[in-house]
Structure 1
Amino acid sequence: MPKVLIADPLSPAAEAIFKERGLEVDTRVGLGKDELIAIIGDYDGLAVRSATKVTAEVLAAARRLKVVGRAGIGVDNIDVEAATRHGVVVMNTPFGNSVTTAEHTISLMLALARQIPAADRSTRAGRWEKNRFMGVELMGKTLGLIGCGNIGSIVADRAQGLKMRVIAFDPFLSPERAADLNVEKVELDALLARADVISLHAPLTEQTRNILSRENLQKTRPGVRIINCARGGLVDEAAVCDLIRAGHIAGAAFDVFTVEPARESPLFALEEVIVTPHLGAATMEAQENVALQVAEQISDYLMTGAVVNALNMASVTAEEAPRLRPYMKLAEQLGSCAGQLVETGLEEVTVTYAGHAASLNTRPLTQLVLTGLLRPQLASVNMVNAPAIAKQRNIHIRVVTCDMIEGYQTLLTVEVLTERGPRTVSGTLFQDQEPRLVSIHGIPMEARLGPHMLYVRNQDKPGFIGALGRTLGDAGINIATFHLGRDAPGGNAIALVEVDGPIPDYVLDQVRRLPHVLQAKQLSF
């Protein structure tokens, strides 16, 4: 009989589900690190929220552990890489908190518009300052959403019920999906210039970190109000304080902070700011939903092998696994490459399997392509929920197979149709094991994708390679491999450079300013 440990507070209904499914369950909340390490070896499954830290040390001691289930979205408290190394599936419940977080956003927006917390404190203190707390109506105002996925779309619906206009910046929001939501899709600068209220609903990734920087906050219209119920680190909190004091920002509401728990913050000193202690998911209904979901998912996996909302495991049978493993890595790398190169909304994705690849179980491979494609903007995406997210965003998926392909025994091609046209990457396996990129946007090249890559699209002119090498060398950046391709002499060219570590932003800016450079981006694999 599989045995499960519940290490953080969950609804009693979760324990009941485990027992109904035939699992043995122990609930031991509040264990210290050493206490958890001492007992984790006796369990096949572990159910947690955010308090228990599932570290590499814990996983090393978990001799029987097969699955960790997180009742919630974020898995910052779980070492997913270590879990993968130990063969432990990591699952989350990405949609259980959506309505609750959206409602908290609307609550803060209303409270901010009418200065309710400050008025409450004043009235309790015996002051009757009716003329001091002059609010604003939300009807007719423009709400700007940074991120319009599951939670953002619910906020849009609720805001429209308040007769607000809704605009959204989201590179993965298709025009069709925007029309369905009655939302106007705009670029970030347009949103900053037009929105009366800005609400963030994006994950924290390298692309979204500090998206409301001091520079961007200064682009907002005077009197704007800022709301963040998404993730700390999306907003420059110090800049918000300065711009409130300067009279540019009318107010802000924060449920999440760059450092949590937030024991102190310059935001706390301002009456124009409302702060709550990460309450977005704190309702009885949400807690019940995620507890039930994680219990069902862990039970299904341990009893039947079914995988739902796994972050680190493909839906692959034991017989298929050895043959598919190198193709799975190739599929995710190609998807990731395409996703990092795309800068506008996705409309259609075509995955073509040619040669030997055409005879494979392509479903998990296509899921991994989508996972890599969406992950640069959606940190919580995994191979299980990637197709659903793509469908929700009206991204059409096409799969093509062909038995023969000239020049290769096996070839995978990912073509992404965007608002600015198609983008294509192709790859193969070297010696049937090692993934290789063989084409970008129709330009042939052979490259191994390493952890840190520099992608440069440029005009094929003399002196460019030397200038690029000098720029990197002067910055102390060591080049591991250097790959080149061009469509014709003097035409368009691509350089793909593997380096030993991350490239600082100032170096990227120097590369972009080099003569003949059309685009430069840092890629991570």
Structure 2
Amino acid sequence: MTRVLIADDLSPRAAEIFRERGIEADVKVGLTPADLESIIADYDGLAVRSATKATAKIIAAAKTLKVIGRAGIGVDNIDVPAATQRGIVVMNTPHGNSVTTAEHAIAMMFALARQIPAADQSTQAGKWEKSRFVGVELMGKVLGIVGCGNIGSIVADRAHGLKMKVIAFDPFLSDDRARDLNVEKVELDQLFARADFITLHTPLTDGTRHMINAAAIARMKPGVRIINCARGELVVEEDLKAGLASGQIAGVALDVFAVEPAKSNQLFGSDKLVATPHLGASTAEAQEKVALQVAEQMADFLLTGAVTNALNMPSVTAEEAPKLRPYMKLAQQLGSFAGQLTRSGLKAITIEYEGQAAELNTRPLTAVALAGLLGPLLDSVNMVNAPVIARERNIEVSEVKHSRPSDYQTLIRLTVTTDRQSRDVAGTLFGGDKPRLVQIKGIAVEAELGRHMLYVTNRDKPGFIGRLGTLLGTEGVNIATFHLGRRAPGEDAIALIEVDEPLSDALLARIREIPDVVQATALAF
């Protein structure tokens, strides 16, 4: 039975969803890295939040793992490159807690503006320090949003309701999207110089790590207030402390810290700090939503092959998966056919789609074709890591969709260019779901691929078929199907033969000795 490990606190409903769909779900929260490493090989799926770290070492021990699901948006606790190399799909739930996190950022902004936490403590202590807690209005202030994706765009919408002026820095924010959000798109230095409040909603990458540092703070508007509900390492906490001490920063609101759980921190104790324990996604609605979403996504993938919100492979909806399945089988067979015949260095791969195939979601088909092609040449290749492996080896991959008329309702053609030659193979679907080869090296052929195949190229001469058939019969090889094609009478020809058993190297050597044989290769599918 397919098994999933739930390693962090998720709604109990997540385990119920797995079990209702026939997947065994074990809930083991609080595992040490050593404990996780010792048991992960028993599971097909791993569901986590932010506490469990799916490191390269853990992933290396996950011999049967197919998918890691993150209930939430950030995946810095998952080694995505290591998972990709192992062919493991990494999914997240980018929309499940967007509203909750955005609302928390707005709440933190209010708390900063009106010094609510410190005023609450003072009042409950009986001090009534009304003149001490003079705040600032949000209306008319400039809010600078760093990262205007799912969460940042919701923050922008809420800020407009507060009559704030919203500016945003995001290298992926298009001009059209900025207009739709009614935000002014600016460079980061401009944002620092103009913003009264700065809120961070960008992922943690090598480029964003410690982006709020002493140099950045020096470029900010004096009296700026900073909110971070994204990732602790976006800021240099020591530099924030210095900025608060100098007055350059009027206040800081942090929901995340460089080291969590943050039982102590150099910023603690400042009356200019508002701190919460990573509560951005902590509402009952969000907790339930992301748990159910990650369980459904993982179950869909494990049971049907549907891929949703994956970070390292193309998405395939539950509706698309059944429709794509026969095309994926065809693409895999075309790739495997070409891969088993490739003997020199790969330089380029072109995959063409015609007819109905051109109207599909072709990215997963291309990934499957690459996996089929690279599989005979390399170990542990699948549709997740095949595109990465191709890039690492400087293999140029091209995908082309044709609207031109075709002899077939649907057609996929794979062309492989090596150091020595270029070879193409094309296929279609008969009856909507039965893969067939229809062309090899420009030669028309109609063949269904079986488990054991013999591929022969030869010069078209009388008597060849008889000699080949006689040799196979003499050696006790039973022929299931026999497919022929030729470029023209007397020119290049091919034979594609399905046999009941694998062919020995000795027999292949004898086949190659038949007059007019150019190549003889055993294929397995």
TM-score range, shorter chain: 0.5 to 0.7
> 1:429 offset after TM fit, Å?
6.6
Q: Deviations over 1:262-291 (max 9, x none)?
A: 333322132111111211111111111110
Matched position secondary structure for 2:268: helix
Q: Deviations over 1:338-380 (max 9, x none)?
A: xxxxxxxxxxxxxxxx9944448785549999xxxxxxxxxxx
Q: Is the 8 A contact 1:355 1:402 kept in 2?
A: no
Are the structure 2 counterparts of residues 160 and 126 from structure 1 closer, same or farther at C-alpha, using a change threshold of 3 Å? Answer: same
Task: Give the aligned partner of residue 311 of structure 1.
Answer: 311
Task: Give the aligned partner of residue 223 of structure 2.
Answer: 223
Q: Is the 8 A contact 2:94 2:150 kept in 1?
A: no
Q: In structure 2, how many angstroms separate the alpha carbons of the residues matched to 1:368 and 1:249?
A: 51
Please tell me whether residue 233 in structure 1 is matched to residue 238 in structure 2: no
Task: Give the aligned partner of residue 329 of structure 1.
Answer: none
Q: In structure 1, how many angstroms separate the alpha carbons of the residues matched to 2:144 and 2:49?
A: 31
Q: Deviations over 1:30-85 (max 9, x none)?
A: 23334334433332222222222333443344333222212112223333333334
Q: In structure 1, how many angstroms separate the alpha carbons of the residues matched to 2:365 and 2:290?
A: 24
Q: In structure 2, how many angstroms separate the alpha carbons of the residues matched to 1:364 and 1:267?
A: 51
Are the structure 2 counterparts of residues 247 and 323 from structure 1 closer, same or farther at C-alpha, using a change threshold of 3 Å? Answer: farther
Are the structure 2 counterparts of residues 51 and 116 from structure 1 closer, same or farther at C-alpha, using a change threshold of 3 Å? Answer: same
> 1:400 offset after TM fit, Å?
6.8
Q: In structure 1, how many angstroms separate the alpha carbons of the residues matched to 2:332 and 2:108?
A: 48
Q: In angstroms, what is the RMSD of aligned CA positions?
A: 3.3
**Equivalent residue letter for 2:160:** Q
Task: Give the aligned partner of residue 191 of structure 1.
Answer: 191
TM-score by structure 2 length? 0.62
- Give unpaired runs (5+ residues) of structure 1: 326-353, 370-382, 384-397, 404-427, 434-525
Are the structure 2 counterparts of residues 216 and 40 from structure 1 closer, same or farther at C-alpha, using a change threshold of 3 Å? Answer: closer
Are the structure 2 counterparts of residues 163 and 59 from structure 1 closer, same or farther at C-alpha, using a change threshold of 3 Å? Answer: same
Q: Is the 8 A contact 2:353 2:401 kept in 1?
A: no
How many positions carry a matched residue from both structures?
356
- The 5 A counterparts of 1:484-503 are none
Matched position secondary structure for 1:253: strand
Q: In structure 2, how many angstroms separate the alpha carbons of the residues matched to 1:73 and 1:432?
A: 46
Q: Which structure has the larger Rg over C-alpha atoms? A: 2
- The 5 A counterparts of 1:127-142 are 127-142=127-142
Task: Give the aligned partner of residue 4 of structure 2.
Answer: 4
Task: Give the aligned partner of residue 287 of structure 2.
Answer: 287
Deviates more, 1:124-133 or 1:202-211: 202-211
Q: Is the 8 A contact 1:113 1:138 kept in 2?
A: yes
Are the structure 2 counterparts of residues 322 and 204 from structure 1 closer, same or farther at C-alpha, using a change threshold of 3 Å? Answer: farther
Please tell me whether residue 156 in structure 1 is matched to residue 156 in structure 2: yes
Task: Give the aligned partner of residue 494 of structure 1.
Answer: none
Q: In structure 2, how many angstroms separate the alpha carbons of the residues matched to 1:284 and 1:152?
A: 21
Q: In structure 1, how many angstroms separate the alpha carbons of the residues matched to 2:215 and 2:187?
A: 16
Matched position secondary structure for 1:227: strand
Q: Is the 8 A contact 2:44 2:65 kept in 1?
A: yes
Task: Give the aligned partner of residue 320 of structure 1.
Answer: 331
> 1:236 offset after TM fit, Å?
2.8
Q: In structure 2, how many angstroms separate the alpha carbons of the residues matched to 1:324 and 1:151?
A: 40
**Equivalent residue letter for 2:7:** A
Q: Is the 8 A contact 1:358 1:402 kept in 2?
A: no
Deviates more, 1:97-106 or 1:62-71: 62-71
> 1:182 offset after TM fit, Å?
1.2
Matched position secondary structure for 1:268: coil
Are the structure 2 counterparts of residues 80 and 146 from structure 1 closer, same or farther at C-alpha, using a change threshold of 3 Å? Answer: closer
> 1:110 offset after TM fit, Å?
0.2
Are the structure 2 counterparts of residues 366 and 211 from structure 1 closer, same or farther at C-alpha, using a change threshold of 3 Å? Answer: farther
Task: Give the aligned partner of residue 256 of structure 2.
Answer: 256
Are the structure 2 counterparts of residues 358 and 41 from structure 1 closer, same or farther at C-alpha, using a change threshold of 3 Å? Answer: closer
Q: Is the 8 A contact 2:47 2:294 kept in 1?
A: yes
Q: Is the 8 A contact 2:76 2:204 kept in 1?
A: no
Task: Give the aligned partner of residue 22 of structure 2.
Answer: 22
Q: In structure 1, how many angstroms separate the alpha carbons of the residues matched to 2:284 and 2:28?
A: 21
Deviates more, 1:168-177 or 1:46-55: 46-55
Q: In structure 1, how many angstroms separate the alpha carbons of the residues matched to 2:270 and 2:351?
A: 60
**Equivalent residue letter for 2:271:** E
Are the structure 2 counterparts of residues 98 and 189 from structure 1 closer, same or farther at C-alpha, using a change threshold of 3 Å? Answer: same
Are the structure 2 counterparts of residues 169 and 59 from structure 1 closer, same or farther at C-alpha, using a change threshold of 3 Å? Answer: closer
TM-score by structure 1 length? 0.62
Identity %: 61
Are the structure 2 counterparts of residues 118 and 366 from structure 1 closer, same or farther at C-alpha, using a change threshold of 3 Å? Answer: same
